[in-house]
Structure 1
Amino acid sequence: MTLDLLAPAALDDDALALLFTDARTVNTYVDGDVDPAEIQAAYEVLRWGPTAMNVSPLRLAVVPQGESRERLAAHMAGFNRDKTLAAPLVVVAVADPGFHRHLGTLAPHRVGLEQDLEPQEERRLEMARTNTLIQIGYLIVALRARGLSVGPMAGFDRAGLDADLFAGNGWRSELVLTVGWAAAENGTHPRAARLEVSDAVVVL
């Protein structure tokens, strides 16, 4: 189906509840593996979300149960280690500072940008991190849209993890996400409040 951008369209309340209002960060999942193909399917959707100049720096390292999971868990903070080991599937969301090497495909209209960015490591790192965080937001929503629950975690030794798992490609880890189907009692706290619109939105 092709979306007609000129025609009004909106998600209904049930869809919004699945993605936002009823969705929760999950700590405890039902038993059973999650097929890594679920992550591939979510990426097929999220890759169409906008990033600056279409740089698309997000890379996803999918970590099923096994040796790689044990290595990953060793870099997690204590309060996140058990969750990492127990989850049906784990994804490390990373930023690729070498994103500019794909600009011939992603932004062919920006002639010479790849060459301009090559020596600008600090600028590339900032662009990669900012746009990866945007894409991680898309990832969480895309996984929820597939009926999965997600538990994002930032408590880990980034430098150690990157040196262990990504030394060969220079990727920079941003978040570790557990993925699965939420258990009936998923270990979450009562839902915290959110700022009211009047506290967070201004019209200038």
Structure 2
Amino acid sequence: MTAAATDQFADLLALDRAAQDLLFREARTANAFTDEPVTEEQVRAIYDLVRWAPTSMNMQPLRLLLVRSDEARKRLLPHLSEGNRAKTASAPLVAVLAADVDFHENLPRVFPHKPDARDAFAGSVAARRRNAHLNATLQVAYFILGVRAAGLDAGPMTGFDVEGVHQEFFAGTSLEPLVVVNIGHIDHSATFPRSPRLDYDEVVREV
């Protein structure tokens, strides 16, 4: 897509160009960070924004484990792919994003329009897992955008031993880890060149 086309489409969006660039065009996956910390208040602000994004039946299965202490970081690192360990060791904050397979226990409170919603999922762990993983993955994407909206940068990773992380941090719970996200202010010295994206006509079909 040409720069002129991008400018044309930018004018059709409700967000101003600075916000568009912050969330999408100029945002990059962070592979290295400055030493500026990420505060609890910033994480609270991120969650307070992204919790309003939609999930099916308002399931909200995403759960966040913030790995901030050195001790917890040392427990996490051996479960990551070798190429992800150094960046995670130096990130100001690391979040393990997990899906709660027992999300249905909250449905009577968060989805009051259907009083029997919990019962619909009570009998099938497989159905709960499918719904939990799908909707929590949606929330992972919302979370990454929320990190960017806070003026921070995210380095999401799926290169880790899922069962190892589960046993290390979530053993005996209904939480299943999905993504590890490094969070901070990006150090562009380790940023790769921007990879191309598919064009509109390669993705969109109208019937």
Query: With structure 1 as the length reference, what TM-score do the two structures score?
Result: 0.92
Amino acid at match of 2:165: L
Letter in 2 for 1:88: P
1:25 is aligned to 2:19: no
Q: 1:117 aligns with which of 116, 121, 133?
A: 121
Contact kept in structure 2, 1:65 and 1:85, CA below 8 Å:
no
Higher helix share: 2
- The code of the aligned residue for 1:51 comes to T
What count of residue pairs does the alignment treat as equivalent? 196
Matched residue, 1:201:
204
Q: Give the 5 Å matches for 1:49-128.
A: 49-128=53-132
Q: CA deviation at 1:168?
A: 3.2
What is the CA deviation profile of residues 78-97 of structure 1, one whole-angstrom value per residue up to 9, with x for unaligned ones? 01111111101000110000
TM-fit CA distance, 1:115: 2.0
Is residue 188 of structure 1 aligned with residue 188 of structure 2? no
- Alignment correspondent of 2:9: none
Partner of 2:174: 170
Preserved contact between residue 36 and residue 62 of structure 1 (Cα < 8 Å):
no
Deviations 1:121-157 (A, max 9, x none): 0000000000001011110111100100000000000
Name the amino acid aligned to 2:162: R
Distance in structure 1 (CA, Å) of the matches to 2:144 and 2:77: 21
Shift of 1:34: 1.1
| Runs ≥4 residues deviating over 3 A | none
Compute the RMSD of aligned alpha carbons. Answer: 1.4
- Tell me the secondary structure at the aligned position of residue 64 of structure 2: strand
Given the alignment of the two structures, is residue 48 of structure 1 paired with residue 52 of structure 2, yes or no?
A: yes
Specify every segment of 5 or more residues in structure 2 that has no aligned partner in the other structure, as ranges: 1-11
Tell me, in whole angstroms, the C-alpha distance in 1 between the residues paired with 2:187 and 2:31. 9
SS state at 2:94 partner: strand
- Secondary structure of the 2:19 match is helix
| 2:123 counterpart SS class | coil
Calculate percent identity across the aligned residue pairs.
38
Q: Secondary structure at the match of 1:74?
A: helix
Find the aligned partners of 2:139 and 2:180 in 1 and give their Cα distance. Answer: 14
Shift of 1:166: 0.4
Question: Is 1:157 matched with 2:161?
Answer: yes
Q: What is the TM-score of this pair, normalised by structure 2?
A: 0.91
CA apart distance, 1:102: 0.4
Code of the aligned partner of 2:192: H
Q: Distance in 2 between matches of 1:30 and 1:116?
A: 47
